[in-house]
Amino acid sequence: METGTGRPRLLGDRYRLLSPKGRDGQGIVWRAHDLRLRRDVAIKEIRPRFRADGADLKEARRRAMREARSAGRLSHPAVIAVHDLLEEDGRLWIVMELLEALTLEETVGHLGHLPVHWTAWIGFQLLGGLRHAHGAGVLHRDINPGNILLTGERVVLSDFGIAALNGDPSTSTTVPVHCAPAYVAPERLRGRPANPSADLWSFGASLYFAVEGRPPYPGSDALQVLGRAMSRDPDPPLRAGPLGAVLRGLLRRPPAERITADHAARLLSEILRTEGVAVDAPRLPSARIPPDALMR
């Protein structure tokens, strides 16, 4: 992104935009350079929704602040780090760590599907970050294969763009239009509030996609997929092997019947040990932050 002089744009007298990295339902992600700390970063430019009377800048600002506040509270290798939030020229910019990674969606697109032990390892690492977020009172609300980054050494959950502080009554229960219905918990599709078990459904649906090579509700017609997701269970997995118990437990339609994150972590660690992959015993952070600790 250049200015009229042909030079790359400078944000906040600190971040020089270099080139676009990608686009999602909420905005454009740029590669940029932090002149102060002399490091490359990723900067997400939040594009506001448009209405008949113009851009909904108030909603864009609220959404960006929620993303930065939610992700900025977290510090875990499986959660993308948020460094800064800027507002300039009527636009909002979120500064994050820069990762050279493929998404889980891209990886499965290249390989067709992932082996059971790869999927279990990805799930175990990702679940550590998700448990950390839930322990801090933060919900993601949009876990899907496009938001899971694979660097080779890390599995990272990105894009807390519609994350909500657990129990925050100001957060809408509406599912944003860019969310893929195959990865949204059935109760959320029916308008019920998000909670940790809804994140676990989305987590399970993403593991289903990884090992099976397709979503739990496949199809190119969004309305048909939505209808299936609201009315019936996913098709039984065919390639999951020992992961089948994890997937069935996470993808139970009644939220109260789903296995917990702790239970899922134990099952995944057992699969990995059987496969000869050493992992630490699953545990939660020693200090849990009350959900309302930073909301005053």
User: Domain of 264: which CATH number?
Assistant: 1.10.510.10
How many domains would you assign to the chain?
2
Residue 5, pLDDT above cutoff 70:
no
User: Would residue 186 count as lying in a domain?
Assistant: yes
The pLDDT-based confidence of 7 (bands split at 50, 70, 90) is low
The pLDDT-based confidence of 284 (bands split at 50, 70, 90) is very low
Q: Do 92 and 188 lie in a common domain?
A: no
* Cross-strand bridge partners of residue 165: 138
Q: Which residue has the tokens 């891209």?
A: 106
Predicted pLDDT of residue 35: 97
Q: Which of 219, 258, 272, 211 has the alpha carbon at shortest distance from 237?
A: 211
Q: Do 246 and 129 lie in a common domain?
A: yes
User: Would residue 2 count as lying in a domain?
Assistant: no
Domain limits for position 34:
10-97
Q: Do 148 and 235 lie in a common domain?
A: yes
Residue 281, pLDDT above cutoff 60:
no
The Cα–Cα gap between 162 and 69 comes to 11
User: Would residue 128 count as lying in a domain?
Assistant: yes
Q: Do 108 and 74 lie in a common domain?
A: no
Q: Which of 284, 274, 253, 264 has the alpha carbon at shortest distance from 123?
A: 264
Q: Do 185 and 259 lie in a common domain?
A: yes
Q: Do 204 and 83 lie in a common domain?
A: no
For residue 142, indicate whether it is catalytic.
yes
pLDDT per residue over 115-168, tens digit each?
Answer: 999 999 999 999 999 999 999 888 998 899 999 999 988 999 988 766 666 655
pLDDT per residue over 204-255, tens digit each?
Answer: 999 999 999 999 987 766 777 777 777 788 889 999 999 999 999 999 999 9
Predicted pLDDT of residue 289: 33
Residue 97, pLDDT above cutoff 90:
yes
Q: Do 120 and 237 lie in a common domain?
A: yes
Q: Do 35 and 159 lie in a common domain?
A: no
User: Would residue 290 count as lying in a domain?
Assistant: no
Predicted pLDDT of residue 279: 75
Q: Give the pLDDT mean for 56-76.
A: 74
Burial pattern 198-211, b for ≥16 Cβ within 10 A else e, equals: bbbbbbbbbbbbbb
Q: Please answer whether residues 78 and 126 qualify as being in contact, where contact means their C-beta atoms are separated by less than 8 angstroms.
A: yes
Predicted pLDDT of residue 273: 92
70, 97, 124 — which closes off a domain? 97
Residue 15: which residues within 8 A CB-CB, separation 6 or more? 32, 33, 34, 35, 41, 43, 84, 86, 93, 95
pLDDT per residue over 177-200, tens digit each?
Answer: 456 788 999 999 888 888 999 999
User: Would residue 166 count as lying in a domain?
Assistant: yes
One-letter identity of residue 192: R
The Cα–Cα gap between 241 and 50 comes to 46
Residue 287, pLDDT above cutoff 50:
no
The CATH number of the domain holding residue 62 is 3.30.200.20
Q: Which residue has the higher pLDDT, 63 or 234?
A: 234
Q: Do 229 and 167 lie in a common domain?
A: yes
72, 97, 122 — which closes off a domain? 97
* pTM, full prediction: 0.83
* Cross-strand bridge partners of residue 103: 149
97, 131, 160 — which closes off a domain? 97
Q: Which residue has the higher pLDDT, 49 or 249?
A: 249
* Options 34, 142, 159, 199, the catalytic residue: 142
